[in-house]
Amino acid sequence: MKDLKFNRHRRLRQSENLRAMVRENFLRTDDLIYPLFVVEGDNVKNPVASMPGVYQISLDYLKEELDELNRLGIYSIILFGVPAEKDALGKSAYDANGIVQQAARLVKEYYPEMVVVADTCLCQYTDHGHCGIVEGGKILNDPTLDLLAKTAVSQAEAGADIIAPSNMMDGFVAAIRKGLDEAGFIDVPIMSYAVKFSSSFYGPFRDAAHSSPQFGDRRTYQMDPANRKEALREAQSDMEEGADFLIVKPALSYLDIIRDVKNEFNAPVVAYNVSGEYSMIKAAAANGWVDEKAMVMEKLTSMKRAGADLIITYAAKDAAAWIKGE
């Protein structure tokens, strides 16, 4: 043993204070964006069975939800609408009185400082559940772009601060940028779901948002989970078209992609910690199999470490409370 030479990494791990001094990554409440599902009607607070702690709420519950977020120090939300009416063209997505538009207006009334991100897609609003116009079983790209631009403009008119297009049609950032600029919203940023995989981890969300495709799947527009280089091509296009933020979705099984995008581009990177990633920890914790707090903080920190600047997560309220020491 006497002449053995090796490095002593444990020197820097001897106490909590020492460990804190050399800690490299941190989760802050400022990093968190909380998803909200808004539905039409009154007095609705529907628990989403597959996502314990997540509810679909009607607008009369909005104020108490925002009060809670405000108390926890969360000042950014992403709105998902669950409309009463669906049709082939998803008209309620771009209705000035659509559910997201109404919600955005109300949030801005109650909490003008709250950063409202509007998810811009059609799948919750179309009767076939696809993210674009369908003809002969095909999802049409270019005709869908006009509807997305219309949706984005109506969301901006209602007060949305950031537009987050999630439907993976080619050219959606360019089309939305043009639509926003022409309507005078040159200062409304686009948080693009640049890299969105066709993932089984979206299952619980589709229960929450009633947005399952009624035929087929989304593999002609969302990415193949096996692909890595393609993610950079997707992100590159969105940057060229004017994206201000790049989302990678899902997060946990795609930490390599988050790192690739972070290394390659200078825009803020957003990890979308999706529904299935939330539900599996909730389910395991409910069985007493895992330590929920430790596991959630570890996974969110891993996303920061991978390169995420921001994280969209259903666990935002839990994490914010833990960060506050509650």
In the range 57-116, which residues lie near ligand PBG by CB under 6 A?
A: none
Quickly tell me which residue has 């790209």 as its tokens. 141
**Span of 11-19, 52-60, 85-93, 202-210 interacting with ligand PBG by CB under 6 A:** 202-210
Quickly tell me which residue has 């043993």 as its tokens. 1
Q: Are the beta carbons of 223 and 253 closer than 8 angstroms?
A: no
Please pick, from the candidates 205, 221, 245, 254, the single residue that binds ligand PBG as defined by CB under 6 A.
Answer: 205
Please pick, from the candidates 63, 108, 178, 206, the single residue that binds ligand PBG as defined by CB under 6 A.
Answer: 206
**With binding defined as CB under 6 A, does residue 274 bind ligand PBG?**
yes
In angstroms, rounded to a whole number, what is the distance separating the alpha carbons of residues 252 and 197? 12
Secondary structure class of 53 (helix, strand, coil): coil
Residues 173, 167, 135, 240: what is their CA dihedral angle, to the nearest 10 degrees? 20
**Span of 22-30, 40-48, 119-127, 252-260 interacting with ligand PBG by CB under 6 A:** 119-127
Please pick, from the candidates 69, 117, 121, 149, the single residue that binds ligand PBG as defined by CB under 6 A.
Answer: 121
**Span of 7-15, 56-64, 149-157, 205-213 interacting with ligand PBG by CB under 6 A:** 205-213
**With binding defined as CB under 6 A, does residue 210 bind ligand PBG?**
no
**With binding defined as CB under 6 A, does residue 234 bind ligand PBG?**
no
Smallest distance from the beta carbon of 283 to ligand PBG, in angstroms?
15
Nearer of residues 111 and 193 to ligand PBG, judged by Cβ: 193
Residue with the CB atom nearest ligand PBG in the bound state: 205
Nearer of residues 154 and 166 to ligand PBG, judged by Cβ: 166
**With binding defined as CB under 6 A, does residue 275 bind ligand PBG?**
yes
Closest CA to 11 of 1, 25, 21, 3: 21
Closest CA to 186 of 153, 147, 142, 158: 153
Question: In the beta sheet, which residues pair with residue 80?
Answer: 37
Nearer of residues 192 and 211 to ligand PBG, judged by Cβ: 211
What tokens were used for 181?
């600029």
User: How many angstroms separate the first and last alpha carbons of the chain?
Assistant: 48
**With binding defined as CB under 6 A, does residue 197 bind ligand PBG?**
no
Catalytic annotation on 196?
yes
In the chain, alpha helices (H): 16-21, 62-72, 99-110, 142-157, 172-182, 203-209, 229-241, 255-264, 275-286, 292-306, 316-324
Dihedral sign of CA atoms 207, 211, 214, 217 in order: negative
**With binding defined as CB under 6 A, does residue 202 bind ligand PBG?**
yes
In angstroms, rounded to a whole number, what is the distance separating the alpha carbons of residues 274 and 268? 19
**With binding defined as CB under 6 A, does residue 123 bind ligand PBG?**
yes
**With binding defined as CB under 6 A, does residue 167 bind ligand PBG?**
yes
Please pick, from the candidates 31, 65, 95, 119, the single residue that binds ligand PBG as defined by CB under 6 A.
Answer: 119
Catalytic annotation on 138?
no
Residue 8 to residues 25, 45, 118: CA-CA distances in angstroms? 22, 55, 49
Catalytically annotated residue among 86, 150, 196, 262: 196
Q: Provide the binding-site residues for ligand PBG, judged by CB under 6 A.
A: 119, 121, 123, 131, 166-167, 202, 205-206, 211, 218, 274-275
List the catalytic residues. 196, 249
